[in-house]
Structure 1
């Protein structure tokens, strides 16, 4: 892994995510971290409001660049001597431009913070992290607000054993396992075999084949509450990172449903890594 992108709005949650990224980079020997700020003009809702002129945009650009410089300076002391810290300020919308930014800067991983204090602005920031994780083509680690970094030794992959070959991004999963030398738990949550089909044994065998050489430990848990089961397992096994694989209309959508976000993404102490 060579380059990590850390989108930031300079909030405490964003700084926590940046610290997580720095420590993660140390573990996997990543060479470069880019702190990224996307700024844009306010949305005009009143036809009588004056259009923001070029001077205002230039002031926004200057503020963004100055904030990025200060942000980098406060974090430089926590980095290894050979680690590069760069800043990138662009006029645009984070969730719309993220893949272009990643392509132009050869990004391998995105690390973002998420908050859960209930404040409107902070919840909006949290939704940005979720939106980015859905749209980004590179893996995204979503860092809960109070998550401190511990070396990644235990990783959980939540799997529904449905169309495993077609939907499992094996390469990024293997990459994180290789770079951290972590133990892998594959966890399936179901209740009274509601989603168990005739293909499930075959699908589990296919996953085992895809992960050959990594010796994953499989756990099948009967629980009607997916989020609660994930949290409980993560606590019991001292999981350091949860890998999730988004699928259209699948459990990932349920995972970040309004009623579940508070329970897991916004209140878990375990970071989530979303891979495509």
Structure 2
């Protein structure tokens, strides 16, 4: 995790994410890239090349750079290299583009969390990044400013396609020296007997040299509830899972477990792209 990207909208949520990113960076000698995205209104965007449009755009840039400089000054005593950047792009698109172009190892984001009809209609930038990012995404929840994951829950179906992101998850677990709790959620729509589930997990883990872990088969009405209820049961500090990155209508109709967890979990969530 040499390059950590922290998108910021200058909110308290983004500041909390930065504090966690600094904690990780200090432990791993990482560089933090602090990114602010300016989404210029259409009327301003159309006027960028005109004499009247340029002053307003320059004011946006100046204000953003001033705010980034204040943040950098606030954390100057942390002895962490923080580089700040301003880009003109829609937030989630800019974050994903910047991450891909700069070989980012980890994205740390704050989440405002939404629910109900707002969640269905507009989603959030964090959700979109979680769904589409090639780099692991660590979502920091309200009031979290330090990350000390003693108990790390990783939920999976333990299929072969999970093996590559599972290796990244193991690295993250070892980085924090956390207790790893592997869980398979069985629901009425995806029911497996205990014997079948245990066999799947056992065969999957045969390819990995894991220590300090547990395995659990947990039954619930749906996968999201199963993960949240199991995490609460063992007092988890962090929840991890893989995301397929579905888009379009398939995403709308099938939903996204990772996005639901980002919205509803009260603990930090980390996702790994399959």
Closer, same or farther in 2 for the Cα pair 1:122/1:202, shift >3 Å?
A: closer
Partner of 1:72: 72
Per the alignment, residue 3 of structure 1 pairs with 3
Q: Tell me what 1:132 maps to.
A: 129
Aligned to 1:38: 37
Give the TM-score taking structure 2 as reference length.
0.81
Kindly report the root-mean-square deviation, in angstroms, between the aligned alpha carbons of the 2 structures. 3.3
User: Aligned pair 1:113/2:110, yes or no?
Assistant: yes
Distance 1:103 1:226, change over 3 A: closer
Indicate the larger mover: 223-232 or 149-158: 223-232
- Distance in 2 (CA, whole Å) between partners of 1:25 and 1:238 is 26
Pair 1:145-2:147 in alignment: no
Q: Within the alignment, does 1:165 sit opposite 2:167 as a pair?
A: no
What CA distance in whole angstroms lies between the structure 2 residues aligned with 1:265 and 1:125?
Answer: 14
Contact 2:243 2:258 in 1 (8 A): no
In the other structure, the counterpart of 1:23 is 23
**Equivalent residues of 1:141, 1:272 under 8 A apart:** yes
1:121: Cα distance to partner? 10
The verdict on how the C-alpha distance between 1:226 and 1:17 changes in structure 2, with shifts beyond 3 A counting, is same
Asked if residue 253 in structure 1 is aligned to residue 255 in structure 2, the reply is yes
* Residue segments in structure 2 that go unaligned for 5+ positions in a row: none
Distance change >3 Å, CA 139–CA 117, structure 1 → 2: closer
CA deviation vs aligned residue, 1:8-50 (integer Å, no higher than 9, x gap)? 0001111111112122333x423211111011211459xxx97
Is the contact made by 2:6 and 2:107 (CA closer than 8 Å) also made in structure 1? Answer: yes
Gap regions ≥5 residues in structure 1: none
Q: Find the aligned partners of 1:205 and 1:44 in 2 and give their Cα distance.
A: 58
Distance 2:204 2:68 in 1: 42
> Number of paired residues?
261
| Residue 184, structure 1, aligned to residue 180, structure 2 | yes
1:157 Cα offset (Å)? 0.7
Contact 2:155 2:182 in 1 (8 A): yes
Cα shift at 1:181: 1.9
Match of 2:267 in 1: 270
Provide the rounded CA distance (Å) in 1 between the counterparts of 2:161 and 2:264.
31
Question: Residues 200 and 62 from structure 1, CA distance in 2 versus in 1: closer, same or farther, beyond 3 angstroms?
Answer: same
Name the structure 2 match of 1:218. 215
